Structure 1
Amino acid sequence: MCQRRQELLERISEWCDQYGRGRDCVRLLAVSKQFPADDIQTLAGCGQSAFGESYLKEALDKLDMLSGLNLEWHFIGPMQSNKTRRIAERFAWVQSLDRLKVAQRLAEQRPAELPPLNVCLQVNISGEASKSGTDPADLPGLAAAVTGLPQLRLRGLMAIPAPTIQFGEQRRAFARLRDLYDSLVTAGHDLDTLSMGMSNDLEAAIAEGGTLVRVGTALFGQRAAAPAAD
């Protein structure tokens, strides 16, 4: 597992060089959903500190088992309103925020003694009816509203484009997200995170300015079946 991580980091660095980007401008998030706590502990021993989870019950079990490690936990899955309290209490980041109602609940439920919860707004960049994410047209209003909420810090945008093996199509989808990000920055938002790119489209994401890549399979191997809904 350490070797896979090292090889992945080397590929990321090579792509950063190829596309004229600094080697330290892309962070690696290990997507550990559906992988056991032992695997996370192993990867943490290789130097990985940031991990992403999508299923709340599974994630909370892992957070409890690994509480002795200094890890940064990101919630990256769809959120139900009745699950926001535990997310607000236990995670450092939420990357899948796409509704003001959920943002308001996270802000109200974030413990005052904790730093503000880092959030990314998920954008439905490909217009897929089955996929979570705010419509690009609604993004400016949602960003403005979230910025005004206490105990939340808007860090940037996240998207999961429609899957394709065509490199040019991958780049075009990520370019749309980058353009939305740039528009928010121009409007005065203090952003630093473009969360885009997974195991099968990393190069395109880095080429288009991604700053945080979410990788599971290339680090851990193939997943088992998804757990029951929590």
Structure 2
Amino acid sequence: MKKAGFATRPIKKKQVKEEVIYSDVGVVRRFIAYIIDWFFSDLAMALPVVLIYSTINQTTEMNIDLFMMKEPYNYIAGMLAILVGTIYFVLIPLYHHQGQTIGKRICSFKIVREDGAALDFKTLLIRNALILFIVEGSLFTVSKYIREILAIFTGIFEFMKYPFYIGIFFGVVSIVLVVCTRKRKALHDLAAHTKVMMCEKVKIS
């Protein structure tokens, strides 16, 4: 006698998709991201300088001043610090976290191009290296190493003073643009045709 059987149908699992929703970034969130990036980038850039100084002087003293180092070690340490800064602000947002430094990733927003295209090396080079490092340089420590190398190489120590004041001026202009204008775009965003946007993942069924 055959037992009655029941036909079973495979249960279809409901697929859940994620959609990224973009929105404007608040001033406070941008400031928090800046503080995070300032801390981590400073730490990373100081490491080769401190290690080289400690090694050549056989000391445990921590120094990040290139003027306190002998040639050619000051050039080597300074160039390594600038390289680390470039990796942090240009290569990581380009290759590792699309449009995000560590601070931006923690604060859930990213750099995007105005035309909607993917970020490229040229855009990040203009935005983060040319404008942030040089024009608004006083807001980022990597510019300190650039000024110190130029001052040591040329013997013109005004590189440590006047570019610093110029950087402060343009940095303040950028802050005013972010706080007081509707588009909240700093000078580096205006120059590179970029903007920063919140990127929140929303599950949709």
TM-score (norm: length of structure 1):
0.23
Larger radius of gyration, structure 1 or 2? 2
**Greater strand share, structure number:** 1
Report the structure, 1 or 2, having the larger helix content.
Answer: 2
TM-score (norm 2): 0.25
